[in-house]
Structure 1
Amino acid sequence: MTVDLTAVVPENSRGRGVFRYYDAADCAFFVAEPSIQPELWHRYLNGAREVYQRFGVEHALEYESVVDGRSTSLFFVALDAGGDIVAGVRIQGPYAAAQQAHALVEWAGHPGADKLTRMIDDRIPEGVVEAKGAWVARDAPNRADLSAAISRTALHAARIRGARYGFATVASFTAGRHQSCGAVPAEGIAAVPYPDERYQTVPLWWDTRSYPAFADESQRSLIQAEQQALGLPAPRPLGNPCASLRTAEDRRGYGR
């Protein structure tokens, strides 16, 4: 079923400042700045808080710090055919310095913190955005597809904001899903117990130039279709993306 955009978007959230596209699960994705679409923003936060509370990690959302929207440059929400928000994520950046990255809070006092700082600093000149507060509704029938769609937003957000790199920290058991969407684990950075000891969290990078070498073919097609729907120009041709970019030399500016 195709979502009727005019039916599911709040009256004060139609039109200006909103990017739109459909994902593989036939949900309507909306992309906006919190100040431009405040109702959608607060609906995203309410959904995030409900999911994070269910897992007992509400503190990781840092609701009081982010609710005003000033630390968020973009947010993505997925609406189903009934108009319910069933997934979302917020984006910080592009950063001017590594110290702005939330990941450094997570790695503070742990091995790898200095290396992660250098890794972010090295990429700052070409642009880094960080995905935070990702969630998917537990009862969504298409949960796996929505989770992949949320992963793809790291690439979309980077391109919308004129950055080369998307960045996120994720639970280690979800890393494979993100890798299928083009993410590469940050090499040499040990996992940390965040937001608590039940989780091992790892940092991932998405490179808007070389992700096709690492993404599954089905995900590459979806990334390209969604970016076309967002009005983003086709990325620079990569020649043979599935061979040469897998070398250690080419990974140096990606996962290393």
Structure 2
Amino acid sequence: MAVEVIAVVPQDSLGRGVLRYYDRQSECAFFVSQPDVRPVLWNGYLDGALEVYRRFGVEHALEIDAVADGRSTSLFFVAVDSAGEVVAGVRLQGPYADAGQAHALVEWRGHAGEDDLRTMIADRMSEGVVEAKGAWVARDAAHRSELSAAISRTVLHGARLLGARYGFATVASFTVARHRACGAVPAERISAVPYPDERYQTVPLWWDTRTYQAFAQESQRSLTELEQDALGLLAACPTEVWREVGRGSEARHRHGR
């Protein structure tokens, strides 16, 4: 789906429901909005997600009929390439008022770790939890690896924009290293589950907006800070982050508990 960026998101759009920044690594512009504010971009997100998930036979995981009206989505991000094509996206739910709102609990229902995961989410509720869902990158997108990393970074941006400390997502186990590079930490003691089907092992990850710098690769830290600056978000204080968390493996484990 091609989007006329100038027409859809004019230069003076800041404050009118759309934020944006440019990722030089993927050579894409990222737009942040709400479904009812920019329906053209939202439809681009939905169309792209459905195409990618359908290619793997897991389109049911999108629950497209339930989310298409946008009411369960607090914010969404889309990446638009130089040709005006929407080539990646993700949506965010929350901040949650109750741990039971987390979609992850549907995925773990009846599996080992369900109660521990619920407790983990509940323990973070007071400082704000948002959940990233329906992430996708077009299979034929240029710089696909860089785009995938950029989508991972949006979890931090979305959490901060929504006033939450924590970003949360469930991801296929083979993508964990990519998200770790962007500061995510796997949830400790939570066993993987076969979701959306038996071909996948899905695990929960946490992004902490206050401490991600201690875990992210330097290149990803720098990109995160540049993007948050473009979004008008004040930078976290690195001194406080390093002192609180440190870089040892035990600190990493505490973070994911």
- State the TM bucket, normalised to the shorter chain: over 0.9
SS of residue paired to 1:129: strand
CA RMSD between the two structures: 1.7
CA distance in 1, matches of 2:150, 2:27: 11
Partner of 2:99: 98
CA distance in 1, matches of 2:251, 2:174: 27
Q: State the shift of 1:121 in Å.
A: 0.2
CA distance in 2, matches of 1:209, 1:136: 27
Q: State the shift of 1:237 in Å.
A: 3.3
Q: Deviations over 1:32-66 (max 9, x none)?
A: 01111111101110010000000100000100000
CA distance in 1, matches of 2:164, 2:201: 28
Partner of 1:9: 5
Cα 1:10/1:196, change in 2 over 3 Å: farther
Partner of 2:66: 65
**Is the CA contact (8 Å cut-off) linking 1:210 and 1:245 kept in structure 2?**
no
Q: Deviations over 1:82-112 (max 9, x none)?
A: 1000000000000011100000000000000
Instruction: Give the unaligned 5+ runs of structure 1.
Output: 1-6
Superposed, 1:159-198 pairs within 5 Å as 159-198=160-199
Q: Deviations over 1:149-170 (max 9, x none)?
A: 0000010001001100000000
Q: State the shift of 1:10 in Å.
A: 6.5
**Is the CA contact (8 Å cut-off) linking 1:8 and 1:79 kept in structure 2?**
no
Partner of 1:110: 111
**Is the CA contact (8 Å cut-off) linking 1:10 and 1:40 kept in structure 2?**
no
Percent identical pairs in the alignment equals 67
Cα 1:177/1:249, change in 2 over 3 Å: closer
SS of residue paired to 2:242: coil
Superposed, 1:173-252 pairs within 5 Å as 173-239=174-240, 241=242, 244-246=246-248, 248=250, 251-252=253-254
CA distance in 1, matches of 2:96, 2:175: 25
**TM value normalised by structure 1:** 0.93
Q: State the shift of 1:247 in Å.
A: 6.0
Partner of 1:18: 18
Partner of 1:4: none
Cα 1:239/1:170, change in 2 over 3 Å: same
CA distance in 2, matches of 1:115, 1:86: 36
SS of residue paired to 1:182: coil
Q: Which amino acid aligns with 2:158?
A: A
Partner of 2:127: 126
SS of residue paired to 1:194: coil
Superposed, 1:144-159 pairs within 5 Å as 144-159=145-160
Q: Which amino acid aligns with 1:37?
A: R
CA distance in 2, matches of 1:249, 1:56: 38
**TM value normalised by structure 2:** 0.93
Aligned residue-pair number: 249
CA distance in 1, matches of 2:246, 2:6: 47
**Is the CA contact (8 Å cut-off) linking 2:213 and 2:238 kept in structure 1?**
no
CA distance in 2, matches of 1:184, 1:80: 29
Q: State the shift of 1:128 in Å.
A: 0.4
Moved more, 99-108 or 19-28: 19-28
Q: Which runs of 4+ in 1 moved over 4 A?
A: none
